[in-house]
Structure 1
Amino acid sequence: MSHLYENIEPNVIDDELVQKVLEEECTEDIGKIVRREGFNFKDVKELQLSFRNILQIANLWQFENLTKLQLDNNIIEKIEGLESLVHLVWLDLSFNNIEVIEGLATLVKLQDLSLYSNRISKIENMDTLQELQIFSIGKNNLTTLEDVVYFRRFKHLQTLNLAGNPLCDDERYMLYVVSYVPNLVYLDFKLVRDSTVRTWQPQMG
């Protein structure tokens, strides 16, 4: 692993980093109060930890009322440490080094999830995310077209991005997605039109 990050100083999420981030996001007046009295992490609803060279997700259990979490553009390899964030609605883990979808089981309120630009090769371990409306997993290593069938369980899924995965090169790609995710409004940043559905559906079977 060391050769991957030889020019990067990996970071861990600790109280010092979180305090720094929260102070940066505050106005000057609030920042002074925070530096004097500290933050009550339970009051924090949104947390942005982008571009922090974070290698491991940890020490977020204190943010039990968090609804929005940005962990994009880091060097995270594993989805972990999110179990207590049961109120999360929006989670961005794009541009990391994640290989396996895991650690999301308790996030049952999640509506918007981005795993764009990682190293994921299989859609799995998302059964509890029944409120999911927007899912981006473009630019990963998904090669099996049949993986698209997994999306059938998400009744509220309206926006899906798979662009940049090897499975998109299959000539049946559009057929599969439109057939198995009938409620989709946007696919790969494009509006799914009724004409597309009508064109593809007769070819099924």
Structure 2
Amino acid sequence: MNRLCNSLEPRVMNDDMLKLAVGEQGPQEEAGQLAKQEGILFKDVLSLQLDFQNILRIDNLWQFENLRKLQLDNNIIERIEGLENLTQLVWLDLSFNNIEAIEGLDTLVNLEDLSLFNNRISKIDSLDALVKLQVLSLGNNQIGNMMNIIYLRRFKDLRALSLSGNPISQAEDYKMFVWAFLPDLVYLDSRRVDDQLKAQAEAKHQFSIDELKHREYLMQAQQAEEQARQAELEEHQAAFVEHLNSSFLFDSMYAEDVEGSKLATLQGVGELLEAYPSGSHCPSDRARPQDTSPLGLSFPISL
């Protein structure tokens, strides 16, 4: 349990808690008093502060569809959940909780600032949807594998990263590794990255960086090809000709052709069928890009 909340009973995020928080944090002048009398609509709330509430589980936030800032730090939250409807969220603070895994963020496509400081997280993943992420705080967790840094390369807008207090930050090459593989980073562990040291780090790891860029290029090409293939398939399905680019149509026409089957038994026909199979012309069977790099550096990167 979070040491700051040990003396209190776990609380539930219900309507009463949310109404009280919205009322206390809303405008206090005449307009605010009028809003309280008429009732405050959760969908109109842009900022919500629920820190130090001894909250065990995130719940009942579905009405806050226009919320941009959510503060849930210093509670006893164990899982990231219940945020699906908060698609306009830009700033999220879940620091000082008991979270063990990054999850439940797939719909937060506008999130720019995420704090998971002082939790129990051991792996950086499940952040793919956060394409606008600029600030990520993961200090004081249990992250120990340097390959977690490679995962963060996909976030092109990431400018500030905090990993201090993790086992990874004790590695001798920690800062040099981060500077080399995240070249667009401006702040690491609350300190501005020195351009001269960054250049030295890149030079030190140039061999591995080149190998990694090669692998990323191949994966991007494969992903683009798969997306194009899927788009083409959807077009064909809409026109009810989804098998137009394969041998299915030809094969189905002769699937029950008795005379054709007899023909296949004649001398020499079998060899022709082996040399020219019916699906050999299928565009979907064309070779995909392969990693032919002789460097052999292995990075666990997924699409």
TM-score by length of 1: 0.94
CA contact (8 A) 2:180 2:202 kept: yes
Which residue does the alignment assign to 1:172?
Answer: 173
Query: Are the aligned partners of 2:181 and 2:202 in contact in 1 as well (CA < 8 Å)?
Result: no
Equivalent position of 2:84 in the other structure: 83
Q: Which residue of 2 aligns with 1:9?
A: 9
**Greater length-normalized contact order (CA 8 Å, ≥ 6 residues apart):** 1
Tell me, what secondary structure is at the counterpart of 2:62? coil
2:134 is aligned with what amino acid? Q
Q: Which residue of 1 aligns with 2:59?
A: 58
Runs of 4 or more, structure 1, over 6 Å off, are: none
Structure 1 CA distance for aligned equivalents of residues 81 and 51 of structure 2? 17
Q: In the TM superposition, what are the counterparts of 1:132-151 in structure 2 within 5 Å?
A: 132-151=133-152
**1:32, 1:14 → 2: CA distance?**
22
Shift of 1:30: 4.5
Structure 1: distance between partners of 2:176 and 2:54: 39
1:70 aligns with 2:59: no
Residues 52-84 of structure 1: CA deviation (Å, up to 9, x unaligned): 111000000000010111111111000000001
Distance 2:18 2:29 in 1: 17
AA aligned to 1:7 is S
CA distance in 2, matches of 1:186, 1:85: 28
- Whole-Å separation in 1 of the counterparts to 2:184 and 2:6: 45
CA RMSD of aligned residues (A): 1.6
Amino acid at match of 1:32: Q
Q: Which whole-Å CA distance do the structure 1 matches of 2:105 and 2:165 have between them?
A: 23
Work out the CA distance in 2 between the residues paired with 1:86 and 1:100.
21
Residue 195, structure 1, aligned to residue 186, structure 2: no
Q: CA deviation at 1:34?
A: 4.0
Structure showing greater radius of gyration is 2
Output the CA distance in 2 between the equivalents of 1:165 and 1:6. 24
Q: How does 1:17-166 map to 2 (within 5 A)?
A: 17-26=17-26, 27=28, 29-166=30-167
Give the helix-richer structure, 1 or 2: 2
Q: Quick one: distance in 1 between partners of 2:128 and 2:34?
A: 42
Deviations 1:145-179 (A, max 9, x none): 11111110000000001111010010111122112
Number of equivalenced pairs: 203
Change beyond 3 A, Cα 1:87–1:32: same
Pairwise CA distance, 1:202: 2.2
Whole-Å Cα distance in 1 between the matches of residues 142 and 22 of structure 2? 34
TM-score of the superposition, structure 2-length normalised?
0.64
Q: Which ranges in structure 1 are unaligned for 5 or more consecutive residues? A: none
Partner amino acid, structure 2, of 1:48: Q
SS in 2 for 1:178: helix
**Aligned-partner Cα distance in 2 for 1:30–1:142:** 47
The CA deviation at 1:35 is 3.7
Aligned AA for 2:185?
L
Indicate the percent of aligned positions where both proteins have the same amino acid.
52
Deviation at 1:33, TM superposition (A): 2.6
Offset of residue 31 of structure 1? 4.8
Distance (Å, rounded) in 1 between the aligned partners of 2:35 and 2:21: 12
